[in-house]
Amino acid sequence: MSDNPYPAVPTAPAVRAAALYKAFGRKPLDTVARLRAGAERGSLPAEQTAAVIDATFEVKRGEIFVVMGLSGSGKSTLIRMLNGLLAPTSGTVEVAGTTITGLAPKQLRAVRRQSVSMVFQHFALLPHRTVIDNVAYGLEVQGVPLEERRARANTIIGIVGLAGWEDKLPAQLSGGMQQRVGLARALAADTDILLMDEAFSALDPLIRREMQEQLVELQAELGKTIIFITHDLNEAMFLGDRIAVMRDGRIVQIGTPEEILTDPANDYVAQFVQDVDRARVLTASSVMEPARAIVSLSAGPRAALRTMRDLQTSAAYVLGNGRTLLGVVRDRDVIRQVKNRETDLSLVVRHDLSAVDADTNLSDLVEASVESDLPLAVVDSRTRLLGVIPRVTLLAALGNVSSHTGEVPVMIDPPATIPVDVVTETLLATGGPTEPADAALEGSLR
């Protein structure tokens, strides 16, 4: 759009809301003054309603920012202030560096045409227009010629999987398909920011799941900034890069799904998140524990055996340079090496261990954990060992039981198969210093 009077400022956040208030009813400014003075929403006079109280946040470009709250928490009012459908009673909204609060209607419409489109809970399609004309509506308002907007709408219709339905009327489509049209209409407008107001709440659970997955894919592909309103915590956790939790008009916490889940700001949030499907939200990196049964390849069999003896375990992870995970050694193999006075640990390293990526969801760890007798090794993209997840830890995380209960003895996983005194005897019998090896091991790993 060459005639865009509000060129996007590349460095600005996609959306910035500063101290937003929205009051309905009589004397809204008076309501805001009362709230600023510390009044609670419940203590306001009956004819004054505060929908949004002191909302401040920034949405980064290309992120999915979810606003979550129960009905009446003010989230729908909040999202409508972000594109000027509602004017804030106090505070300012910036879209791509442009302050839209107080803009003249005409300029506000220009911002909506060029920067922000919206998807609605009940689809809000134009019932008298075909699918393709609905999808092309945003372009039509922008003044794109018929042929071009039809072509662009066709592309988007293909992307959302509605090819072949172009000439149907919305009433001929199922709910899920209608919302695909709603999504396609917003995408076709080709704005950087998408507002989605309870967009999937009216859909059946299966369709909703499908749409959520499609949205994540589309977002990864198109890099839109998405502000998503929902009352469904699982949806928020699944979609959100960051989540703002609203209660009674206030934002009570903003954070990543894991932060909200593992470190709730207050009892309300904690209570809210207790029923969430943790397996789909938490990732390996958020529940893993430091790996202790680790030996450096260069430290040799004696150090490996001693480590396993001290931890009373039958296996240890073997690390190479820069903590790269090479594999695992078993106590039986190592004790044989020690007895035979061999020094090359790499001869007995097994590579058949289960290593998982740090971003894997817990739900995808269960199977691996069942099949492996070792704790799961968590690695980063360069196969460096970040930590381990013993089965007990995984169960504790799924059941929302704190696994960090202090002095409770940490489970030994897997337990030693050779008695400790046998190992000690073997070490003594084969001679050599016993203690300095620890220092060597530590040193080589740092």
Q: Which residues bind another protein (CB under 8 A)?
A: 83, 85, 106, 109-114, 116-118, 120-122, 124-128, 137-138, 141-142, 169, 171-172, 185, 189, 195
Question: How far, in Å, CA of 389 to CA of 116, rounded?
Answer: 43
Closer residue to another protein (CB): 65 or 137: 137
Q: Exposed/middle/buried for 234, CB within 10 Å: 0-12, 13-18, 19+?
A: middle
At 308, list the tokens: 């396993």
Going from the C-alpha of 108 to that of each of 93, 103, 115, 318, the distances in angstroms are 12, 6, 10, 61
Question: How far, in Å, CA of 116 to CA of 120, rounded?
Answer: 13
Closer residue to another protein (CB): 199 or 245: 199
> What is the rounded radius of gyration, in angstroms, for the C-alpha atoms of the chain?
29
Tokens 């790269």 locate to 324
Residue 142 parent element (H or E)? helix 137-142
Q: Say if residues 244 and 66 touch (Cβ distance below 8 Å).
A: yes
Closer residue to another protein (CB): 116 or 335: 116
- Closest separation between CB of residue 96 and another protein, Å? 15
- Closest separation between CB of residue 294 and another protein, Å? 56
- Closest separation between CB of residue 188 and another protein, Å? 10
Closer residue to another protein (CB): 120 or 268: 120
Residue 315's DSSP bridge partners are 330
Closer residue to another protein (CB): 50 or 111: 111
Closer residue to another protein (CB): 101 or 426: 101
Question: How far, in Å, CA of 184 to CA of 161, rounded?
Answer: 10
- Closest separation between CB of residue 105 and another protein, Å? 8
Question: How far, in Å, CA of 188 to CA of 381, rounded?
Answer: 35
Question: How far, in Å, CA of 407 to CA of 376, rounded?
Answer: 23
- Closest separation between CB of residue 2 and another protein, Å? 17
Closer residue to another protein (CB): 186 or 299: 186
Closer residue to another protein (CB): 106 or 382: 106
- Closest separation between CB of residue 186 and another protein, Å? 8
Tokens 């934002």 locate to 251
At 428, list the tokens: 């003594």
Q: Say if residues 330 and 303 touch (Cβ distance below 8 Å).
A: no
- Closest separation between CB of residue 212 and another protein, Å? 21
Longest alpha-carbon distance in the chain: 90
